[in-house]
Each structure stands twice: as C-alpha cells, then as structure tokens.
Amino acid sequence: GDSVTQMEGPVTLSEEAFLTINCTYTATGYPSLFWYVQYPGEGLQLLLKATKADDKGSNKGFEATYRKETTSFHLEKGSVQVSDSAVYFCALRDKIIFGKGTRLHILP
C-alpha cells in the first residue's frame, strides 16, 4: 500500500546550519506531496507542496523537489533559525498519508 517514510528525529542543529529532512514515498500513480509543520501547542499547517514530478515547492526559505525517479521529497533550508524549531511531517495526498514526523531543535 501507499506509505511515507521520513527520517527519525530529533534533529538538532545550530542556528544558520543547513537542514535536510529526508522523505521517501511509495504510491501508485503520481500523488501530490506536502510538507506540514507543527509548532509547539498548535495544529499542523501547510509549509509547501508539489503536485507533479520535478515541481519545487518553496516557502519561508524551505524547499522540496518532487523527484519521481527516486520517489523522494526531501525538505531543505539553507540557514535555519531558532524559530524553525517544530515537528515536520511529510505527506502524500491520494490517501492522506503522513510520515511519522521529524522533531527539529535549533540551538541559538
């Protein structure tokens, strides 16, 4: 069946470090892919999305490219901030499947 696998957390980085959170998926067809972010005490909110192969989603300095050949949608940011500390979820939309989430801690 369809599934999403993302890297285990927590991930701890220093401010201004480069971030990559890996996400791979298994699905029939070509589902839309999403990254959601959950800040402490809040529900999830959409960070970015891509709807077809080679699309790049971007928002707030984060980027992710829909790679059909590697079935991946890795999240990247060139220089993280303390305010980026949150839990990040990769998701595919056909059957509304989420990864297990990756908790990110940014140290000042």
Residues that bind other proteins (CB under 8 A): 31-32, 34, 36, 41-46, 49, 51, 89, 93-94, 96, 98-101
CB 49 within 8 A of CB 35: yes
- Cβ nearer to other proteins, comparing 96 with 107: 96
Positive or negative, the Cα torsion across 9, 1, 67, 92?
A: negative
- Cβ nearer to other proteins, comparing 55 with 63: 55
- Cβ nearer to other proteins, comparing 43 with 108: 43
Question: Cβ 92 to other proteins, closest distance in Å?
Answer: 9
How many angstroms separate the CA atoms of 16 and 4, rounded?
28
Strand partners, 62: 59, 77
Q: Is 71 helix (H, G, I), strand (E, B) or coil?
A: coil
- Cβ nearer to other proteins, comparing 89 with 106: 89
How many angstroms separate the CA atoms of 87 and 56, rounded?
21
Question: Cβ 85 to other proteins, closest distance in Å?
Answer: 17
Question: Cβ 39 to other proteins, closest distance in Å?
Answer: 10
Cis, peptide link before residue 10, omega less than 30° from 0: yes
Question: Cβ 91 to other proteins, closest distance in Å?
Answer: 8
